[in-house]
Amino acid sequence: MLFGIHSLLFRETFVEADLPLLDKCKALGFDAVEIIPFDPDNFPAAKVRRAAADLGLVINTGYGMPAEYNIISPDPQVRRNGIEFSKRLIDLSNEAGARVFGGMIYCGWGYLTGKMRTEEEWKWAVEGYREIAAYAHRQNPDLILAIEPVNRFESHFINTAADAVRFVREVGLPNVRVHLDTFHMIREENSIWSAVLEAGPLLGYVHACENQRGIPGTGLVPWLDFFRALKRIGYDGCVTIESFDPDMEKIARLCCIWRKLADSPEQLAQEGLNFIKSVWRQVQLEPTA
């Protein structure tokens, strides 16, 4: 098991001036860092790869697709733009040496139609993502494309592990997997345990987030059940803490972070890491059922 941290806890951007953040994350004890290349034109992908290799860090990337690149838009040009932009992000992820490219990478983040998803939207998404995944597989078959179910307030399209599993199976390429995030799961799943088992061998990436986005262990997420389920399915990939700093106004507004979740980002990262590692150690010591 690898334990990672999200760069947005510390920085609102990731340009060349942000490269020293990798040293900080390594010093805090993390094995991996997830980066969002919000500014693709200025994302120092090759330098990220070299710095991470020197530090012994794993890099993952993610994104929340903006409206102009929404792959389930009724506008065919917007859908095409989304497919082409996704290919560009995949190229950057490969240049950065990423193992996983995940998140809301299959439709517009925050896009809500005011009704349940339609079969037409599903068809557009599956067909579009099959093209994206085929491109990614040709470039680098080892890069995992991770489909993250999110809560109902951020999307009407994929909200549960079962939705993501169906989507991954219909896309039908081996580099597409499920990305589970406990922040969204606690709002949408009937059972954390069952959702992890639903994903099973298709699980490719994990976000460990408390229900209020604070320090893992301070809220309502049933962490023992969650890690027991990861153990049951044999997941040994990366578990990344994802949270945000309310002092970063753009990110706070996008993610609705209106209060301090810890005394500092460093406290959230360090105490969160200590907690999830302790739960994982406890679960590892338990007899296998």
Q: Give catalytic residues, as residue numbers.
A: 148, 242
Residue with tokens 């290349």: 37
**Spatial distance between the Cα atoms of 262 and 245, rounded to a whole number of angstroms:** 9
**Spatial distance between the Cα atoms of 101 and 146, rounded to a whole number of angstroms:** 6
285 membership: H or E segment, kind and range = helix 265-285
**Spatial distance between the Cα atoms of 168 and 270, rounded to a whole number of angstroms:** 34
Angle of helix 76-95 relative to helix 119-139, nearest 10 degrees, comes to 30
CB 215 within 8 A of CB 271: yes
Amino acid at 171: V
